[in-house]
Structures are given as C-alpha cells and as structure tokens.
Chains A and B, each alone.
Chain A
Amino acid sequence: MSLNIEDNEVDIVIAALRSDLTAFMEKWRPFFSRFHLIIIKDPDVEEDLQIPPGFDHQVFTKSDMAQILGATSINFTGHSCRYFGYLVSHKKYIISIDDDCLPARDNAGTLVDAVAQHIVNLKTPATPFFFNTLYDPFCKGADFVRGYPFSLRNGVECVLSCGLWLNIADYDAPTQVVKPNDRNVRYVDAVMTVPVRALMPVSGINFGFNRELLGPALLPGLRLAGEGKERWETMEDIWCGLCTKVVCDHLGLGVKSGLPYVWRGDGVDVRGAMDSLKREWEGVKLMEEIVPFFQSVRLPSTAVTAEDCVIEMAAMVKEQLGPLNPVFASAADAMVEWVKLWKAVGSQGA
C-alpha cells in the first residue's frame, strides 16, 4: 500500500493560546515545514503572534473569524479556536497539536515525527471488529495473529488517530493535585484500533483525522461554565471525541490510539490545579452523565453521513441530557449550529 504523503493532502491546525510560537515552531520545523499550517489565534490573546519565517502558513485572528463566520452562538475562544481551523481547511487530513508540546524521543533516542505517524495511522486500515493481540497488524514486523478471521483482515478506513504524551500526561485536575511530580516516562511502542462500541476519552492535545470523511463530527460542543486555558479546565475534546467515536462506530469507520507521542509541557502548576479543582469539579461530575449517555446512543440507519449523525445526536443530547444541566442544552445547540457553519463554510471546495 502507498504510504506516500502528498504535501497537499495535509493541513496542520494549531490553536495559538500563547503569542510567541517561535520555540514551538522551531522545534517542529523538521516535521511541519513541508505542510501548510493553519494557525488560529485565540481571540483572548491580545499580542500579535510571533511566528518564525520559512513556514507556509495562514493566520486567522478574531476579526478574520468574525468576517468568515458572521454572527454565531459558538464560542471559539481558548482551545475551541482550533475548530475554526477545521472549518476553513480544504485538505483531506488534519493534524492538530497543542502549542505547549514538542517532538518526543522514542526509546532509541530518535525524534518522533508525529505528523508522519498520524498520517500512517490514517492511511492504513483500522480493525475495530476483533482485537488483534499484536496490536496494529499493518505495522512492519507485525501481522494478524492465529484466530483472526480472514474476512476481517481488510479492515476499515481509519479516520481518527489519537496520539499520546510523554512527560506531563493528560490528567484531570484532581489527579494533577494528588500526583504533581508524576511524569509519563513509558513509551509504549504500539498503535491499536479502539474496538467498536468501546468509548474512550480523546485528548485534543495530539491527534489527526480524516476531514473528508469525518467532516462536522469533530465539533465544538461542550463548553464548561468555567472553561479555562489549561487542558484540565476543558472538556471540549472529550465531548468531541465521544461524538466522533459514536459516529465512527455507526458508519463503520475506525479510530486508533497510541503512537505518536509528543513531549508535553514543563511542569504542573499545582496551585493552578487546586484552583481549578474548586472551579472545575463541574467537568468531572458531568462525565458521570456523559459517558452512560453516549454508551446508549443508537443512531438510525438513515444516518449515513457524519453530518446526519451529528444532527441526530444533537437532538438526543437536547432531549436526554438537556434537562440535567444547561451546558448540555448549549452543547446540543452548538452541534446544530456547527453543522450549519459547516455547510456554509466548511464544505466549500477541495
């Protein structure tokens, strides 16, 4: 199978929550420089962005967003600004990495090309219907094991590639407070398909997806009342990932998790985490309602595109979760609004 990456197939979408992107982009230069970058400046950031030369990139600011979107009820500040990037991209694949992450080193000490690994994950099949105990069978040196039905060995298209993080792992605020010095040092050399009907927390820190097929399924839906700039103060990616997995399971598309790793952050602001804890108990509590809801979603057979699925789910969210908490009603509205924006802006051209 051809794993050549065409430069014009990929957009790298970066949410700039900090103004000085110099160190970030210099470190990623070997892996980013051949691709087009869409950089979305968080509307809450006031200073101009500092971007080193030599990158083919486009920056979108608050005023660009307002001009393109018009009036919209969706809040594109903070980490959610990246969704605007998905809207304006015309490429088949999108890779998105948080701006506080740098390339990681593998067990041999080599810098990991996270972009290339995401593309490999997206261009090789996923195998959600039966678990392969040697993990990704399409990896060099691996294969399907004895007992794996041959009819399932073609796999299905992989549309979401969820990467991981060394150093500061993506823990919630309570865990950060209890284990401020814990660092993730374990490099697990595997990619695996997340089985059908298995749900998972998708982290927005480091992932890639097939925009052509998933379209509006990657959506800014759930915004916490006290959402902040730290990852443990958000649930937007978790909500988005659950929606996406349900859509993938329904449409027979695959989701992978594992490699690539990125190196994340310098330290944990324990004080900040504790403050978050006081404010963000909300997100942790909401998960108790959110997970059983998504586990119970059954989409009708008439929903044949990602867009159909999102509209169906939005209605279910409104009906079943809406009464429990106003953030859910807002999420449902945001999902519907997002599809409208997608039709108006996102589905233009290729």
Chain B
Amino acid sequence: MVDSGLYGAVPSTPLLKDELDIVIPTIRNLDFLEMWRPFFQPYHLIIVQDGDPSKTIKVPEGFDYKLYNRNDINHMLGPKASCISVKDSACRCFGFLVSKKKYIFTIDDDCFVAKDPSGKEINALEQHIKNLLSPSTPFFFNTLYDPFREGADFVRGYPFSLREGITTAVSHGLWLNIPDYDAPTQLVKPLERNTRYVDAVLTIPMGTLFPMCGMNLAFNRELIGPAMYFGLMGDGQPIGRYDDMWAGWCSKVICDHLALGVKTGLPYIWHSKASDPFANLRKEYNGIHWQEEMVPFFQSVKFPKGCTTVQKCYIELSKQVKARLGKLDPYFNKLADSMVTWIEAWDEFNPSENMGAATAEVPNGPAQGK
C-alpha cells in the first residue's frame, strides 16, 4: 500500500487500454459515447446489438469497436446461441464471451458521465480500474470502508493478518438520477431521484449477497468471466430484468468460494432514462415471486471439494439450480441447461484459460469452522 503521506504524489491509475474491453448492449444509436469520449476513446469497444439485426447502429467516429448483431451471434455460436437472450440487454454477456481481454467494463447506453459534489466530471472507468487493481477485504468489515483509498486505512481492531486483502474480481458501480428500482417501487415513487453521492467504495462481506446491477459494472474476466452469464431473459422467456441479478448471485457465491473480492460503491454514472414501469412490471412479475426462493437458494449453496475453477463451480451451480429450483418452475431447468451451454461456449472461445485454478489456495482466508 502506498503511503501517500511520506512520498507526496499518489501514483496515477494505469489506463490498461490493451487489457480492457468496454461492452455495450444496445438497440438504438450510441450517441451517448460522445460524452464519454475523453474517457473511453483509448479502449476497444464491443457492441452487442440486440433486436433487429438489419438496423444499422450509428457509432460516433473515432472509436475502435467491433459490433455483433444477432446474425453474428447465431453464426459464431451455432446451436449454442440459444443461451444468449434475445430482446434483452442480457445479450451483453456475448461480449464477455468473445472478448480476449483481461478486464471488462460494461455500461448501458442511457448512462452518462456524472459529476461529483465538487462539480468535477467522474471518470467512471478509472475508478473501476482502481477498484479492480486494489485488494478487497471480505473477511472483516472495515468501518472506514475501502482501506486502500487515499486518506483511509484499516481501523483499530482490524487484524493485521487480514490487511493484505484478496484480489478483487468485481467492481459494482452506482447511479445518480434515475435509481435502479423495481417496477412496484417505480410506480409508487415515479419522481424519486438518487441525489445522494456516497463517497465510498466497500467490499461486500463474505457470505453476503447483493442485487448486482449491470448498468455500470466492471470485472476481471480472467478471474470470474465464466460466472458472468446473464441468463435467459426477454423474448420467449417468462422473466426479464433479472439477468444481472442472476449473474450477481452466481458470481458472488463463486467469488466467496474461491476467495475473490467484490466491491460496490463508486463510481457513479448519471442514469438518464427511466424505463416504462408497466412494461417492467410485466417483465419482472415472475422474478419478484421467484426471488423469494432464488435468494435463499443462493444463500445456502455449498460447493463440494473439487470445485477449484470458476467453470467447475458454475457447472455444479447449474446442477443445484436444476435440482432445487426446477420444482419452482420449468424455466429453471431451461436456465440450468443454458448455464451448461454457456460454459461450453466459453471454453470453446477461451480454450487456453484455466480460470480460477490459481486462486484455489488462499493465504489470508477466514478461520476454519466458519
């Protein structure tokens, strides 16, 4: 950890421009990229075009990007394309699959640059990189939040053996303006805006689940990529707007098992568009009921010995989904099958990667008997 007090300048955050892809799902144009240009231009963009493939998506000039539409997805994956959702932003995970980079940042096309309380524009990508490159501390809660931020540290009582932390796999950012509420809450509070800038990043404790929003999210693809499957949503499916929730629960239980860290908090983006709450209600209806079972399911997931890689954990998870959630609704059998398909596709596109094996042994893990 750098002692900024002694040596003055805090080292600047590396750009990682050759190690990070930005994945954007879209059905409209990408004008929003103009605002992000100062921060995004150095990077390669993977654009996943949902909806009608014959529509041309306009990308502002000067960006290095590759665009995939439904035809590309079908062509590249063949029968395995069935695991990629149609008419839902869940299709973004196709971008994770085909990327060759170590890190992914994914953002929705209605998310703009936010300003911090001093009026300065927030470079969300830079903050995500800071989050991913500094350790997480899931085994003991630090009351001053992220101890690796400038101006903070571990508080009195924090065991020294836990102060190295563990590698961060996921950085979950937040949103000012339109908050990410579910449909019922949107209907009751249509005018509520999130105006509170909470100047904190924190590690989500081991064993704690959270609702992961895919609007402003970054992760270490090498460490946790295969777990970032956004499920079967949208067209032909009985559920929508639970894609990121599903990926969040799956990836968190796997991160907990493999001792990888998940952070939430900064950076904020400015969420500009409120989706139609009535449409959302229809999409979420089953999800709202099913989450009452899904959450307890994930809270009780245990991985047997031998689940030492992300893929192995994920396949095991798919079996447990089938066994325990299948009776809730046949949808979960389909979902479990598509989870397996996803891993097959992942391994096909990423043959030399051996994900998670290096993290099997953890020097600073929790005590036995936990």
A residues with a Cβ closer than 8 A to B are 107, 130-135, 139, 141-152, 162, 164, 169-172, 175, 178-179, 181-190, 194-203, 231-232, 235, 238, 241, 257, 284, 287-288, 291-293, 295-296
B159–A287 touching, CB < 8 Å: yes
Complex contact B213–A133 (CB within 8 A): yes
Which residues of B sit under 8 angstroms from A134, Cβ to Cβ? 174, 179, 194
Q: A131-B204, A194-B141 are in contact. Are A288 and B185 (CB under 8 A)?
A: no
The dominant DSSP class at the B interface is loop
Nearest residue (CB) in A for B154 is A175
CB pair B207 A133 closer than 8 Å: no
The answer to whether A146 touches B172, judged by C-beta atoms less than 8 angstroms apart, is no
Would you call B151 and A143 a contact (CB within 8 A)? no
B5 in contact (CB, < 8 A): yes
Give the complex CA separation of A295 and B211 in angstroms. 25
**A91–B198 alpha-carbon span in the complex (Å):** 33
Known contacts A141-B196, A295-B366; 16 further A-B pairs (Cβ under 8 A): A135-B198, A146-B213, A152-B295, A164-B144, A169-B152, A172-B155, A188-B198, A189-B196, A195-B207, A198-B205, A198-B207, A202-B157, A257-B141, A291-B367, A293-B367, A296-B369
Query: Closest Cβ of chain B: how far from A207's Cβ, in Å?
Result: 11
Which residues of the other chain, A, contact B157 by a CB distance below 8 angstroms? 172, 201-203, 235, 238, 241, 287
Decide yes or no whether B181 CB sits under 8 A from chain A.
yes
Given A131-B204, A149-B295, A287-B159, the answer on whether A142 and B194 have CB atoms closer than 8 Å is: yes
Interface size on B, residues (CB 8 A): 64
Q: How far is the CB of A290 from chain B (nearest CB, A)?
A: 8
Query: Once the chains bind, are A179 and B211 in contact (CB under 8 Å)?
Result: no
Chain A residues with CB under 8 Å of B205's CB are: 194-195, 197-198
* Contact partners of B198 in chain A: CB under 8 A: 135, 188-190
A-B residue pairs in contact (CB < 8 Å), sample of 18: A130-B211, A131-B209, A133-B211, A134-B174, A141-B195, A142-B196, A148-B182, A152-B295, A171-B154, A182-B5, A182-B151, A189-B198, A197-B205, A201-B156, A202-B143, A284-B160, A287-B158, A291-B367
B168-204 at interface with A (beta carbon < 8 Å): 172, 174, 179-182, 185, 189, 192-200, 204
Taking A133-B211, A149-B292, A295-B366 as contacts, is the C-beta distance between A200 and B140 under 8 angstroms? yes
Give Cα A203 to B162, complex, Å: 18
The SS class assigned to the A binding surface is: loop
In the complex, A190→B245 CA distance in Å? 23
Query: Assuming the A-B contacts A145-B213, A201-B157, are A186 and B185 also in contact, with contact meaning beta carbons closer than 8 angstroms in the complex?
Result: no
Measured between beta carbons, the chain B residues less than 8 angstroms from A152 are 295
In the complex the two chains form, is A198's CB within 8 Å of B208's CB? yes
- Note all chain A residues with C-beta closer than 8 A to B212: 147
Tell me whether A198 and B161 are in contact (CB under 8 A). Answer: no
Highest count of chain B CB atoms <10 Å: which of A133, A170, A172, A184: A133
B233 to A: closest C-beta gap in Å = 13
CB distance from A12 to the nearest CB of B (A): 22
Q: Is the CB of B181 within 8 A of A145?
A: yes
CA distance A181 to B109 in the complex (A): 43
Interface check B117, CB cutoff 8 A: yes
Known A-B contacts A150-B288, A172-B156; A143 and B189 likewise in contact (beta carbons under 8 Å):
yes
A187 vs B264: C-alpha distance when bound (angstroms): 17
Most buried by A among B207, B244, B367: B367
Instruction: Enumerate chain B residues within 8 angstroms of A296, measured Cβ to Cβ.
Output: 367-370
Contact of B181 with A146 in the complex, beta carbons under 8 Å: yes
A200 touches B291 (CB 8 A): no
B160 touches A164 (CB 8 A): no
Q: Are B291 and A149 in contact (CB under 8 A)?
A: yes
Q: Which residues of chain B have C-beta atoms less than 8 A from A190's C-beta? A: 196, 198, 200
A226 and B242 CA atoms in complex are apart in Å by 55
Which B residue's beta carbon lies closest to that of A192?
A: B202
With A141-B192, A147-B291, A164-B144 as given contacts, are A184 and B156 in contact (CB-CB < 8 Å)?
no
* A95–B195 CA distance with the chains assembled, in angstroms: 29
* A contact residues around B154 at 8 Å (CB): 171, 175
Q: What residues of B have a CB within 8 angstroms of the CB of A293 in the complex?
A: 367
Q: Which residue of B lies closest to A153 (CB)?
A: B185
